Amino acid sequence: MSKKKTTFNISKTNNFSEWYSEILNKAEIVDLRYGVKGFVVIRPWGARIIDKMYRIYESALRCTGHEAAIFPAVIPEKNFKRESSHVEGFAPEVFWLDKKQGDERLALRPTSETAFYEMYNLWIRSYRDLPLKIYQRANVFRNETKATRPLIRSREFHWIESHDAFATKKDAEAQVRDDIVMTEEVMHKIFGVPFLPMRRPQWDKFPGAEYTIGSDSILPDGKVIQQPSTHLISQHFVKAFDVKFVNEVEKERTPWLTCYGPCMSRILASVISVHGDDNGLVLPYTIAPVQVVVVPFYGEDSKKVKEMVEKIQKDLFGEHIDVRVDDSDKRSGEKFFYWEMKGVPFRVEVGEKELANGEVTVFIRDSRERVSVKVGDLVESIKNLGAEYDSRLLARADEFFEGKVVECKDKVGVKKALNSGKVVRFAFCSADVEGAECAGFVEKELEARVMGTRADVGEKVVGKCVVCGKKAGVVVYVGKSY
């Protein structure tokens, strides 16, 4: 009987595309055999990671005054037609149902502004109703015409969308800034995924928005993937749904609305890509489905080993640590490979030698170190090791990210940097409509896109636009994207 493979043996650095596809399969994150292009089955291991991510994000939203709701998955066609730029922007991506409601078509939601605003027309009457902050955990559907890639570019997204209403533009813009902070606090600091908060150029904003800020993460091949985006919605959009309120002096006003959309399935793609290594997944301790796997080694005194394993499992579970005991009949090497490849942060090995010493051996997935821990100290040690583990992953991710952004002064340098897997920063004429022609050059000649300008810091621009040679008005970032 042949031995099972006990090495992953694909270089993430040299062949990221193959590595990514293989790890999704081997780690049982998704199954592509559903038979509908752009739609995948998320398997239990992937679903458990996403569920933890949802829980953390929803907790952050509730801490900032948001309440959960559940909206229908279908949107009547009349809702899309109320705001021209919105329907124009989303029409090519809409899945329309064959069944109609009377003479009207129904769409599977590509996003839910038009559903929320119909209800906000009914729910918002007075300034006392504001701010109104509501989110939902939802699936959205977009008939993506580009090449699909599991979790990265799909036709079904698993996300959260929040839709917030305020009495003043100042309050709404404060929410936009708070959304960027939430992305920093959750996606970056907890999930370990660094990003650039980019104010999109006018030609690339959300259909129906006054402006859009997208959070761009970078994958190991240098390509950019858009993560949570936040939008200040145009009042034309809000007025199209006749959303109004009466202020403190009995004057009728139109509220200002924002929306924010962290996509759990897409963020998972970044988590897998940024942290994984040539041995498989490396998952942050906080969101790992199994944080500790206990592997027993039975010998002559198997009863005592089993009792110790059960005690360890009970103690860890009692402290809300996700633990699994692998007492299968697989060879130890197979067990080690399987759980390392699945990204479990810690493996606890328990045998007669450990019993005799009153210690267990803990294998640490990211550093591949083995440390001895006294049985009585194991729970607290795992908690401390878990915090250190996530700090290391974050530091490594930040170091990688910083090395991926470079500055260039001319078109030759920009092209060379893009082709070597970098995101490029350079002087540009304008992020308004005047810069669209130069953006077209970037898209056609460099096969990249203008991501926008930094939303978190003001960057001083000097010199001329690298593309057209006119006086530069902004500093932009450009990258190849999925």
CATH of the domain at 302: 3.40.50.800
Distance (Å, rounded) from C-alpha 430 to C-alpha 444?
18
Residues 429 and 457 in one domain: yes
Q: What is the CATH number of the domain that holds 444?
A: 3.30.110.30
In the three-class reduction of DSSP (H, G, I as helix; E, B as strand; rest coil), residue 246 is classed as: strand
Domain range for 363 is: 285-388
Q: Which amino acid is at 87?
A: V
Cα angle, residue 424 at apex, residues 422 and 427 outer, rounded to 5° = 170
Its pTM stands at: 0.94
What percent of the chain stands above pLDDT 90? 87
Residue 396 within a domain: no
* H helix or E strand, kind and range, residue 308: helix 302-318
pLDDT recorded at residue 223: 96
Residues 306 and 251 in one domain: no
pLDDT band at 50 (very low <50, low <70, confident <90, very high): very high
pLDDT recorded at residue 42: 97
Residues 239 and 290 in one domain: no
Inform me whether the pLDDT recorded for 456 exceeds 90: yes
Residues 76 and 114 in one domain: yes
Residues 104 and 175 in one domain: yes
Rounded to 10 degrees, what is the CA torsion of 3, 288, 272, 47?
90
The pLDDT tens digits of the residues spanning 169-225 come to: 999 999 999 999 999 999 999 999 999 999 999 999 998 999 999 999 999 999 999
Residues 249 and 300 in one domain: no
Residue 2 within a domain: no
Residues 462 and 335 in one domain: no
pLDDT recorded at residue 99: 84
Cα angle, residue 230 at apex, residues 229 and 232 outer, rounded to 5° = 145
Residues 197 and 308 in one domain: no
Q: What CA–CA distances, in Å, run from 308 to 19, 291, 305, 364?
A: 38, 19, 5, 21
Inform me whether the pLDDT recorded for 4 exceeds 70: no
Q: Which amino acid is at 277?
A: D
Mean pLDDT of 132-154: 90
pLDDT recorded at residue 236: 93
Last residue of a domain, one of 257, 275, 293: 275
Residues 254 and 350 in one domain: no
Which one is predicted more confidently, 302 or 3? 302
pLDDT band at 7 (very low <50, low <70, confident <90, very high): low
Mean pLDDT of 148-160: 92
Residue 393 within a domain: no
pLDDT recorded at residue 101: 87
Residue 156 within a domain: yes
Inform me whether the pLDDT recorded for 47 exceeds 50: yes
The pLDDT tens digits of the residues spanning 280-295 come to: 999 999 999 999 999 9
The pLDDT tens digits of the residues spanning 99-132 come to: 888 889 999 999 999 999 999 999 999 999 999 9
- Both structure tokens of 204: 């690339």
Residue 395 within a domain: no
Residues 190 and 56 in one domain: yes
Report the DSSP beta bridge partners of residue 384: none
Mean pLDDT of 70-86: 87
pLDDT band at 447 (very low <50, low <70, confident <90, very high): very high
Of 465, 475, 481, residue with least CA distance to 421: 481
Last residue of a domain, one of 275, 307, 335: 275
The pLDDT tens digits of the residues spanning 347-364 come to: 999 998 888 888 999 999
Inform me whether the pLDDT recorded for 2 exceeds 60: no
Residue 262 within a domain: yes
Mean pLDDT of 307-331: 96
Q: What is the mean pLDDT of the chain?
A: 94
Residues 95 and 169 in one domain: yes
Residue 246 within a domain: yes
Asked if 212 contacts 167 with a C-beta cutoff of 8 angstroms, the reply is: no
Distance (Å, rounded) from C-alpha 468 to C-alpha 132?
45
Q: Per the structure, how many domains does the chain have?
A: 3
The pLDDT tens digits of the residues spanning 362-373 come to: 999 999 999 999
Report the DSSP beta bridge partners of residue 224: 218, 481
User: Token match 């997944």: residue?
Assistant: 281
pLDDT recorded at residue 352: 87
The pair phi, psi for residue 480, each rounded to 5°, is: -80, 145
Residues 295 and 437 in one domain: no
Inform me whether the pLDDT recorded for 472 exceeds 70: yes
Last residue of a domain, one of 388, 422, 439: 388
Q: What is the CATH number of the domain that holds 128?
A: 3.30.930.10
pLDDT band at 1 (very low <50, low <70, confident <90, very high): very low
Distance (Å, rounded) from C-alpha 308 to C-alpha 285?
24
pLDDT recorded at residue 178: 98
Residue 442 within a domain: yes
